[in-house]
Structure 1
Amino acid sequence: MTGTVVVTGTDTGVGKTVFSAALAVALGARYWKPVQSGLEDGGDAAAVAALGVPADRVLPEAYRLATPCSPHRAAELDGVEIDVKRLTPPVAPGPLVVEGAGGALVPVTRRILYADLFERWGHPVVMVARTELGTINHSLLTLEALHARRVPVLGVAFVGDPNEDSEATIAALGGAKRLGRLPRLGRLAPKVLHAAFADHFRIGDFR
């Protein structure tokens, strides 16, 4: 595979970074987060490196912002003006996994949402969703926003305990492929994560 896959989610903390790390390792891909908001723990780039993505495959962010909030507001607090031209996914040899921030409708600036960037880029998107209560509404709204912009959606990757009805309902009503589900892991270590990904997803679905 030589293409780019974009990972978005239904909300903050849904599991995008963990999934992105697993996907990047499985594809032998590079990883890129366009805008990092919040630097106390080193950010998501540090997290994916700790989860097994080789350091030389973790590309530097276009913007690193101090406050852990929506990029548009974090930039304002830092006195930074985000230039969306800098947010075009870099051309890299081999596959690239790009991780958004929060959900698909998170503002990047006062005028541009992440979903608008996805529309401009035209790369296939994987939506990461919880399996907990409330996921049907959040997932269908996210898929509707992506479909309205004609963003190509590869499918939905669930994270959490199994919920057969919710997962099937989201895929059917949202018109999206059900890619698999990453289960809760008692220990979030690289080997454990990558074994779980291999057990619950088909890598061919991402190529």
Structure 2
Amino acid sequence: MRVVVTGTDTGIGKTVFAAALARAMGASYWKPIQSGLLDGADGETVATLGVERVLPEAYRLTEPLSPHRAAELDDVVIDPAKLVPPADDPLVIEGAGGVLVPVTRDLLYADVFARWGLPVVLVARTGLGTINHSLLSVEALRARAVTIHGIALVGDANEDNEATICAMAQVKRLGRLPKLDPLDAESLAAAFTEHFDLRDFQ
């Protein structure tokens, strides 16, 4: 399976989930645009969490900002034609931030997902505000005819929020990844096995 992992916002645990999924699937991991190199690259984080094959980014940008702005500050022009998914299968592709984050001043991540024609897993928080963010993200993806494979939640259990999102959006609830302390390759793999069914991703 080749799948895109995107989120409802930034800093919600999308990279950790993408690492867990890629490891469980035995998949390659690819983040087409990495912004924020001063804070460390997500590919490096994913590798420490047990993913064996991390593919090089198409663009590596310095500032931890939306790609369109980070590219401008680095005097880089992002060419959408270079954002072509590798042929690896299985493959997990991670976007940046939420679905409507600008890649360039004329292109949003959701538009890129639509061009790829790959199914998307939407990662969402479980806490306050997540219903609104999740339903807006679903609408943005569906407006572009992007297939939503399901929603993965990250955080403390919140049954009503989780159930409400999936019922109102009419999407599959794939599972919930709890916050892990410590977070390492072993604890993440165990948590994914406990809270998700790998058959949902095959």
- After TM superposition, the score normalised by the length of structure 2 is 0.99
For residues 152 and 88 of structure 1, the distance between their equivalents in structure 2, rounded to whole angstroms, comes to 18
- Tell me which residue corresponds to 2:19: 21
Match of 1:51 among 29, 49, 52: 49
| One-letter identity of the residue aligned with 1:169 | T
Residue 65 of structure 1 pairs with residue 61 of structure 2: yes
Cα distance in 1 for partners of 2:116, 2:179 equals 32
User: What is the Cα deviation at residue 178 of structure 1?
Assistant: 0.4
Q: 2:112 is matched with which residue: 109, 117, 120? A: 117
Aligned to 1:99: 94
Q: Look up the equivalent residue of 1:62 and give its one-letter code.
A: A
Q: Give, in angstroms, the shift of residue 188 of structure 1.
A: 0.3
Structure 1 distance, partners of 2:38, 2:171, is 36
Cα deviation, 1:118-160, whole Å, max 9, x if unaligned, reads 0010100000000010000000000110111110101000000
Query: 1:188, 1:115 → 2: CA distance?
Result: 30
Alignment gaps of 5+ in structure 2: none
- DSSP-derived class of the 2:122 partner: strand
| Residues 1-207 of structure 1 mapped to structure 2, 5 A cutoff | 3-54=1-52, 57-92=53-88, 94-207=89-202
Could you tell me whether the CA contact under 8 Å between 2:39 and 2:64 is conserved in 1? no
SS in 2 for 1:81: coil
Encode CA deviations 1:63-94: one digit per residue, 9 max, x unaligned: 000011000000000000000011011112x3
Structure 1 regions of 5+ residues with no counterpart? none
Figure out how many residues of one structure are paired with residues of the other and give that number: 202
Q: Is the 8 A contact 2:7 2:122 kept in 1?
A: yes
Counterpart of 1:70 in structure 2: which amino acid? S
- What is the CA RMSD across the aligned residues, in angstroms? 0.7
Q: Deviations over 1:40-85 (max 9, x none)?
A: 243100000011111xx10000000001100000000000000001
Indicate the SS of the match to 2:29. strand
Report the structure, 1 or 2, having the larger strand content: 2
> TM-score, normalized by length of structure 1?
0.96
Task: Give the CA deviation at 1:185.
Answer: 1.1
Aligned AA for 2:123?
A: V
User: 2:140 & 2:42 partners in 1: Cα distance?
Assistant: 25
